[in-house]
Amino acid sequence: MQDATVSLVELSALISFGVLILALLLTFWRLFRGRDLADRVVALDLIAIILIGGIAGYTVMTDVAVLLNSASVLALIVFLGTVAFARYLERSVK
């Protein structure tokens, strides 16, 4: 029979999920209200980072370390997308 109490790690993970959801909502607002393309790309990058944080929090909560592989792949893809966008901006300014 399991104890009904919540451990400190689980409570911290649940609080962090709430903060991440709030940050995600505010970032979506920024995505839709962005003034130019650069604002929207930064908002998309932030959404990806928030999702990576959510994956990491879920990994801590469930002890399934395999999910960190998907977080790492997502981080690499986001980084490459940001570099590609920076190169695009650099070439369009000239």
Is the per-residue pLDDT at 6 higher than 80? no
3-state DSSP helix/strand/coil % of the chain, to nearest 5: 85, 0, 15
Secondary structure (3-state) at 20: helix
Q: Report the share of the chain in percent with pLDDT over 70.
A: 95
Can you give the pTM of this predicted structure? 0.83
Q: Where are the domains of the chain?
A: 8-93
pLDDT tens digits, 28-58: 999 999 888 888 889 999 999 999 999 998 9
CA pair distance 69, 50, nearest whole angstrom: 16
